[in-house]
Chain A
Amino acid sequence: MRHIISLLMENEAGALSRVAGLFSARNFNIESLTVAPTHDPTLSRMTIVTRGNDRVIEQITKQLNKLIDVVKLVDLTDSSFLERELMLVKIQAIGEARDEIMRLADIFRSEILDVSPTTLVVEVTGASKKLDAFLAALKKDSVLEVVRSGATGVARGDKALSI
């Protein structure tokens, strides 16, 4: 099952490599990983999308918690949460295809960020599934580049991951 693990860690050199190293060393799956400092500059927030059965996910959260640099952790998928990922797609857009892509962009409530005579760059934001759906709707050979940020997320309601 897909899980989104969100964690706060010390904003220190090498902290990211400890997390990334843990996943490879213990043969855990990693689908995406994003990290950036928070409003507290001593803390970074990391979001990891991973897959595994309950036992594997339990080990992942325990092993992450064991890292000295990890301050706090939550498995967002344990309760109701919001998920957002940002994607930039550069698409070949000539002739009729141009209109079609623009219509599609409209349906997905995405923005066209760049226009050239032969290409468009579209920004799509949403849950990762929505981004997948947008890509699926495009003609495969028209996609020149896909840049995805990896998922980020936050729990709904008054629950907050903070120290």
Chain B
Amino acid sequence: MELSGAEIVIQALKDEGVEHVFGYPGGAVLHIYDALFQQEAVRHILVRHEQGAAHAADGYARSSGKPGVALVTSGPGATNAVTGIATAYLDSIPLVVISGQVSTPVIGSDAFQEVDMVGITRPCVKHNFLVKNVHELAETIKKAFYVATTGRPGPVVIDIPKDVTDPGIKIPYRYPKAVELRSYRPESKGHRGQIKKAVDMLLTAKRPMIYSGGGVVLGNASEQLTRLTRLLGFPITNTLMGLGSYPSDDQLFVGMLGMHGTYEANMGMHECDVLIAIGARFDDRVTGKIATFCPHAKIIHIDVDPASISKTVSVDVPIVGQVKPVLEVMIELLGENNTKPDRDALDKWWKQINHWRSINCLDYDKKSDKIKPQSVIETLHDVTGGDAFVTSDVGQHQMWAAQYYKFTKPRRWINSGGLGTMGFGLPAAIGVSIANPDAQVACVTGEASILMCIQELATALQYSTPVKVINLNNRYMGMVRQWQEFSYGGRYSHSYMEALPDFIKLAESFGHVGMRIDKPEDVRPALDEAFAMKDRTVFMDFITDDSENVYPMIEAGKGQHEMRLPPGMTTKRELA
């Protein structure tokens, strides 16, 4: 088979099993778009801004477990995608981003729409390639998918100069079945001796904690995590990225941990004597002040990326390996071990945890005559049966979604945890909907975040992705306002959103349904009505209490045990 470079790109995507590409055409990728036009196997989703392409491909990947693919042109097309690439990088999401480049003879001459994409993305990709020769194209694409999806996943950029895709030059095409890189050996099942050491340590624990993160989601190891946790009967907390990997309606689940985690999760972390971190990376939003992080604990850490281990927190038993096979061995060794968890100690520990739990730290005023954002999320959970895909933007609404939508399945909670990218939610939701056409998809957002990628409402119409936008509109950049209230004497510097659009008309002008909800009693009927419109995008503008804050909170510089609770709530530090 003889193909041009442009045809090779498309054929390689087909051979890779890619069904959807999110992109936006431009000069440097016109040959590729022409090849795309002449086939039907790879479906192209035209976004309205390249940031949206990267986020949509990201949402597609997070919800499906398959790599997301974006296609953008050179120069501004490429730079627009960078925020989306960095978002995927910080959350280890497998993306392959194909960017056009100016023709090889003019690279470096400041040609029209030229930018050094490989240079710009170097610090925010797992790897990137500049393909200077059409003969290297097929193999490079194979390598890109291999690198993006194996080990600790991440985005890979393939920068392709226009002349490399020249339709006039045809060469024999062969897509490699597999590639090997002598410098990259990502697969690791973990050292059995280390796993055994970890099991022994777990069985000596009197006050254990399981702390698991996004690695469990990425590594498709929810089932193993759930089995291990139940086998041990230990309390488990999830990071923001790990929510859904353990059913949050389970008694052993003590909620999210970290800056806006539950009181019981953070106190449990602080008081535990053995901590097992599974696919989590001791992010600063989790640890709070490092000096007082888990002061009594021996720490076991399972991670596929050796560089994650002992990066910020020293660990006692490191296990480098993919979470799933490591947990399987752990379960097997537990079964063989004659020692059992110390039930008496555990009972005492659970008594203590339940004592912390009893303050009900996520309680809020349910009798308010204003709409409480928390109640919108709880109602959303009810209306969707707890089974929706929920994407979010970044800020207060993100934390409320994480706290109050009790996720019970992995890949259902889709947010920018690492980079914290406002504008992520809507395009990500479109990507989720493309990957899961029959699923309920909600984008929980705020009136500030949603404006950062609002143009994607047009994409939602074109491809009939029935996303329900849950806009928690408090007229503020809420999280900025909250920090200004707590730490800057209430000087609300540029955090109030004046001149907001009429979101109803805005949604309608894009061809969608708009709803405004400003009374608590209307929240449920409105959500029922919106989700009954199965084939429509509905923009729901909830006018919420503008003074509401996210509680509980570990303020900057504080330790896990120094949580700020909602006004009127008191701590229960002492043992039960």
- Interface of A toward B, CB cutoff 8 Å: 9-10, 13-14, 17-18, 21, 25, 55, 58-59, 62-63, 65-66, 68-72, 163
Contact = CB atoms under 8 A, between A and B. Distances in A.
25 contacts: A14-B122, A14-B130, A17-B119, A18-B122, A21-B122, A21-B123, A55-B310, A55-B314, A59-B307, A62-B306, A63-B307, A65-B306, A65-B307, A66-B306, A66-B307, A68-B126, A68-B127, A68-B147, A68-B181, A68-B183, A68-B184, A69-B183, A70-B183, A72-B183, A163-B182
A66 B122 contact: no
B118 interface: yes
Contacts of B118: 14
B305 interface: yes
A58 B119 contact: no
Given A9-B183, A58-B310, A65-B306, 20 more contacts: A13-B130, A14-B118, A14-B119, A17-B122, A18-B122, A21-B123, A25-B123, A55-B310, A59-B311, A62-B306, A62-B307, A63-B307, A65-B307, A66-B306, A66-B307, A68-B126, A68-B147, A68-B181, A71-B182, A72-B183
A163 B180 CA distance: 15
Contacts of A10: 183
Nearest to A9: B183
Interface string B284-312: 00000000000000000000011100110
Nearest to B123: A25
A9 B181 CA distance: 12
Contact of A71 (B183, B305, B310): B183
Give the interface size bracket for B toward A.
Answer: 10 to 19
Interface in B252-302: none
A30 to B, nearest CB: 16
Nearest to A63: B307
A7 to B, nearest CB: 10
B243 to A, nearest CB: 27
Contacts of B307: 59, 62-63, 65-66
Contacts of B184: 68
Contacts of B119: 14, 17
Contacts of A9: 183
A78 to B, nearest CB: 17
A63 B127 CA distance: 13
Contacts of B182: 71, 163
Interface string B112-149: 00000011001100110010000000000000000100
Contacts of B126: 68
A68 B156 CA distance: 11
A66 to B, nearest CB: 5
Nearest to A58: B310
A93 to B, nearest CB: 43
Contacts of B130: 13-14
Interface string B351-387: 0000000000000000000000000000000000000
A10 B143 CA distance: 15
Contacts of B306: 62, 65-66
Greatest chain A CB density within 10 A among B126, B182, B307 is at B307
B305 A66 contact: yes
Contacts of A59: 307, 311
Contacts of A63: 307
A105 to B, nearest CB: 43
Contacts of A70: 183
A68 B147 CA distance: 9
A10 B183 CA distance: 8
A10 B306 CA distance: 21
A18 B128 CA distance: 10
Contacts of A21: 122-123
B226 to A, nearest CB: 30
Interface in B296-342: 305-307, 310-311, 314
A92 B147 CA distance: 55
A59 B306 CA distance: 9
A58 B311 CA distance: 9
A132 to B, nearest CB: 33
Nearest to B122: A21
Contacts of A58: 310
Contacts of A65: 306-307
Contacts of A163: 182
Interface centre among B123, B183, B306, B314, by most chain A C-beta atoms within 10 angstroms, is B183
Which 6 pairs show the lowest CB-CB distances between chains A and B?
Answer: A62-B307, A71-B183, A68-B127, A25-B123, A66-B307, A68-B184
A72 B183 CA distance: 7
Contacts of B311: 59
Contacts of B123: 21, 25
Interface in B84-134: 118-119, 122-123, 126-127, 130
Nearest to A8: B183
Contacts of B122: 14, 17-18, 21
A71 to B, nearest CB: 4
Nearest to B143: A68
B321 to A, nearest CB: 15
A13 B129 CA distance: 10
A10 B122 CA distance: 16
Interface string B176-210: 00000111100000000000000000000000000
Nearest to B314: A55
A9 B184 CA distance: 11
Nearest to B182: A71
Interface string B383-407: 0000000000000000000000000
Contacts of A62: 306-307
A71 B182 CA distance: 7
A81 B458 CA distance: 63
A4 B94 CA distance: 34
A114 B123 CA distance: 44
